[in-house]
Amino acid sequence: MGKKDKTISFRVNRDAFDSLQEIADERDCSLSAVFRDYVDTLVEHDGRVEVVPEHVAEETATDESEPTFPPTVTVPKSFVREHERLELEADHLREQLEEYRRYVAHLHDQVDDTDEEDVVYLGDLDSDGDGFDHEEFDLDTDEPYHLG
């Protein structure tokens, strides 16, 4: 089974949300991409991430041999949009799969609820009282009957 992504949800006040939205606009990405980047950085550094103002980070990053923090990668906006579209499509397919599973479970319940016997015994067919005298019919002497 493949990896299954988890959803994190929390509330922030309106001012914090607006500030986060501005950050996302500055980075030319979605708000969820900002959080994914932050979570990836946090996990990558074992939770040891320090928030530093930009001017301090620029002063300490004068040495070109050291990578800047936070690391940045330029990704085309179309890539981000396609990724978000695929996430939405995956959510939709998960919902459809769950709906089909519920339907199959419903059908299994219906089959389990019917206690009708689906097995027909040949002995029961001979004594079904259809008025046909089975003993008068002799396979060796009677003419075969062809359908069609």
> 3-state class of 102 per DSSP?
helix
More confident of the two residues 84 and 135? 84
Please report the pLDDT score of residue 83 as a whole number.
92
Least confident of 1-15, 34-48, 77-91, 94-108: 1-15
Kindly report, residue by residue over 75-110, the tens digit of the pLDDT.
888 988 999 999 999 999 999 999 999 999 998 888
Q: Are 32 and 41 in contact (CB under 8 A)?
A: no
Identify the band that residue 146 occupies on the pLDDT scale cut at 50, 70 and 90: low
pLDDT in tens, 57-68: 777 665 555 666
DSSP 12-80: --HHHHHHHHHHHHHHTS-HHHHHHHHHHHHHHTTT------HHHHHHHT--TTSPPSS------HHHH
pTM score > 0.75 for this model? no
